[in-house]
Amino acid sequence: MASQVETSSVLDRQAPPEEVLIRTEELWKTYDMGAAAVQALCGVTFDILRGEYVAIMGPSGSGKSTLMNLVGCLDTPSSGKYWLNARLVSELTDDELAYIRNKEIGFVFQTFNLLARATALHNVELPLIYNGTPSKEREEKASEALNMVELGDRMYHKPSELSGGQRQRVAIARALVNNPSLILADEPTGNLDTATGDEIMNLFDRLHESGNTIVLVTHEHDIAARAHRIIHIRDGKIDRDERIK
Amino acid sequence: MAVYSQTQSLAFAARSRQRELTGIWITAREAFWIAIEALRAHKLRSFLTLLGLVIATTTLIVVMSVINGMNLYIADHIANLGANVFIVHQFQWAQGYEAWLKARRRNQPVRIEDYNFLKENVTGYKNIGAEAWRRMDVRYKEHALYEVELSADTPSMIDIGQAQIESGRYFSESEYEHGAMVCFVGQDLVNEFFPSVDPLEKTIMIGGLPFRIVGVAKKIGTTFGQSQDYFVNIPLTTYLRTFSARPGLAVSIQAWNATQLVPLEDEVRALMRARRHVPYKENDTFGINASDTIMDLWKRLTASIFAVTIGIVSVFMVVGGIVIMNIMLAAVTERTHEIGIRKSLGARRRDILMQFVMESGVMAGVGGAVGVLLSLGLAKIADILFTASVPVSAVVVGLLLSTSVGLFFGIYPAYKAAKLDPIEALRTET
Cβ contacts of B10 on chain A, cutoff 8 Å: 6
The pLDDT, as a whole number, for residue B18 is 60
| A30–B contact, CB cutoff 8 A | no
Whether residues B16 and A134 touch (CB distance < 8 A) is answered with no
Cβ contacts of B22 on chain A, cutoff 8 Å: 132, 134
User: Considering the domain boundaries, does residue B81 fall inside one?
Assistant: no
How far A119 CA sits from the closest chain B CA (Å)?
13
% of chain A residues with pLDDT over 90: 75
Identity of the residue in A15, A74, A127 whose CB atom sits nearest the CB atom of B422: A74
The pLDDT, as a whole number, for residue A4 is 47
User: Considering the domain boundaries, does residue B4 fall inside one?
Assistant: no
B75: pLDDT confidence band, cut at 50, 70 and 90?
confident
Cβ contacts of B426 on chain A, cutoff 8 Å: 74, 109, 113
Q: How far apart are CA B207 and CA B135, in angstroms?
A: 9
Residues 136..195 of A with a Cβ closer than 8 Å to B: which?
174
- In angstroms, the first-to-last Cα distance of chain B is 46
Assess whether B316 and B374 both reside in one domain: yes
Q: How far apart are CA B152 and CA B391, in angstroms?
A: 40
Identity of the residue in B5, B19, B423 whose CB atom sits nearest the CB atom of A75: B423
User: Considering the domain boundaries, does residue B214 fall inside one?
Assistant: yes
User: Is the model's pLDDT at B17 over the cut of 70?
Assistant: no
How far A117 CA sits from the closest chain B CA (Å)?
9
The pLDDT, as a whole number, for residue B4 is 45
B295: pLDDT confidence band, cut at 50, 70 and 90?
confident
| A208–B contact, CB cutoff 8 A | no
Cβ contacts of A2 on chain B, cutoff 8 Å: 12-13, 16-17, 20
Assess whether B226 and B304 both reside in one domain: no
Assess whether B423 and B342 both reside in one domain: yes
Domain hosting B252: range is 126-256
A42: pLDDT confidence band, cut at 50, 70 and 90?
very high
Whether residues B17 and A94 touch (CB distance < 8 A) is answered with no
Q: How far apart are CA B88 and CA B57, in angstroms?
A: 44
Is the ipTM, as predicted for this complex, more than 0.90? Answer: yes
pLDDT in tens, B379-388: 999 888 888 8
Q: Choose one of B256, B273, B306: the last residue of a domain.
A: B256
Whether residues A132 and B20 touch (CB distance < 8 A) is answered with yes
Q: How far apart are CA A59 and CA A41, in angstroms?
A: 14
Assess whether B132 and B188 both reside in one domain: yes
User: Is the model's pLDDT at B9 over the cut of 60?
Assistant: no
Cβ contacts of A123 on chain B, cutoff 8 Å: none
| A99–B contact, CB cutoff 8 A | yes
How far B54 CA sits from the closest chain A CA (Å)?
28
A&B contacts, CB < 8 Å: 102
The pLDDT, as a whole number, for residue B2 is 43
Cβ contacts of A13 on chain B, cutoff 8 Å: 2
Kindly identify which residue of chain A lies nearest to residue B8, measuring between CA atoms.
Answer: A6
User: Is the model's pLDDT at A9 over the cut of 50?
Assistant: no
The pLDDT, as a whole number, for residue A61 is 85
User: Is the model's pLDDT at A36 over the cut of 90?
Assistant: no
Higher pLDDT, A158 or B388: A158
Domain hosting A199: range is 2-243
| Residue B404 dihedral angles phi and psi, to the nearest 5° | -70, -30
Q: What is the CATH number for A57? A: 3.40.50.300
pLDDT in tens, B198-208: 999 999 999 99
User: Considering the domain boundaries, does residue B418 fall inside one?
Assistant: yes
- DSSP state letters, A53-102: EEEEE--TTSSHHHHHHHHTTSS--SEEEEEETTEE-TT--HHHHHHHHH
> Could you give the number of structural domains in chain B?
2
A201: pLDDT confidence band, cut at 50, 70 and 90?
very high
> Could you give the number of structural domains in chain A?
1
User: Is the model's pLDDT at B68 over the cut of 90?
Assistant: no
The pLDDT, as a whole number, for residue A10 is 46
Whether residues B345 and A17 touch (CB distance < 8 A) is answered with no
Cβ contacts of A72 on chain B, cutoff 8 Å: 344
B115: pLDDT confidence band, cut at 50, 70 and 90?
very high
User: Is A17 exposed, middle or buried, given 0-12, 13-18 or 19+ CB atoms closer than 10 A?
Assistant: exposed
Q: Are B173 and B150 in contact (CB under 8 A)?
A: no
User: Buried b / exposed e across B14-43, counting CB within 10 Å, b at 16+?
Assistant: eebeebeeebeebbeebbbebbeebbeebe
A142: pLDDT confidence band, cut at 50, 70 and 90?
very high
- Strand ranges in chain A using DSSP code E only, listed in sequence order: 20-33, 36-49, 53-57, 79-84, 87-88, 105-108, 182-186, 214-218, 229-234, 237-243
Q: Are B370 and B52 in contact (CB under 8 A)?
A: no
Q: Are B213 and B201 in contact (CB under 8 A)?
A: yes
The pLDDT of B67-81, averaged and rounded, is 77
Residues 6+ apart with CB under 8 A from A233: A44, A56, A57, A58, A62, A63, A64, A67, A239
Kindly identify which residue of chain B lies nearest to residue A70, measuring between CA atoms.
Answer: B423
Whether residues B345 and A102 touch (CB distance < 8 A) is answered with yes
Identity of the residue in B13, B23, B29 whose CB atom sits nearest the CB atom of A3: B13
Whether residues A130 and B19 touch (CB distance < 8 A) is answered with no
Sign of CA dihedral B328, B329, B334, B338: positive
Residues 6+ apart with CB under 8 A from A125: A138, A139, A142, A177
Bridge-based pairing of strands A182-186 and A105-108 is parallel
Q: How far apart are CA A119 and CA A137, in angstroms?
A: 17
Assess whether B331 and B420 both reside in one domain: yes
Q: Choose one of B256, B287, B306: the last residue of a domain.
A: B256
User: Is the model's pLDDT at A241 over the cut of 70?
Assistant: yes
User: Is the model's pLDDT at B23 over the cut of 80?
Assistant: no
Lowest mean pLDDT among A93-102, A217-226, B2-11, B364-373: B2-11
Assess whether B325 and B237 both reside in one domain: no
Whether residues B346 and A101 touch (CB distance < 8 A) is answered with yes
| Residue A83 dihedral angles phi and psi, to the nearest 5° | -105, 130
% of chain B residues with pLDDT over 70: 93
Assess whether B251 and B182 both reside in one domain: yes
User: Considering the domain boundaries, does residue B306 fall inside one?
Assistant: yes
Q: Choose one of B236, B256, B276: the last residue of a domain.
A: B256
Q: How far apart are CA B60 and CA B394, in angstroms?
A: 8
Higher pLDDT, B283 or B353: B353
Assess whether B130 and B70 both reside in one domain: no
Whether residues B9 and A17 touch (CB distance < 8 A) is answered with no
Identity of the residue in A72, A86, A129 whose CB atom sits nearest the CB atom of B30: A129
The pLDDT of B155-173, averaged and rounded, is 90
Assess whether B326 and B381 both reside in one domain: yes
User: Is B97 exposed, middle or buried, given 0-12, 13-18 or 19+ CB atoms closer than 10 A?
Assistant: exposed
Assess whether B38 and B131 both reside in one domain: no
Cβ contacts of A113 on chain B, cutoff 8 Å: 337, 340-341, 344, 426
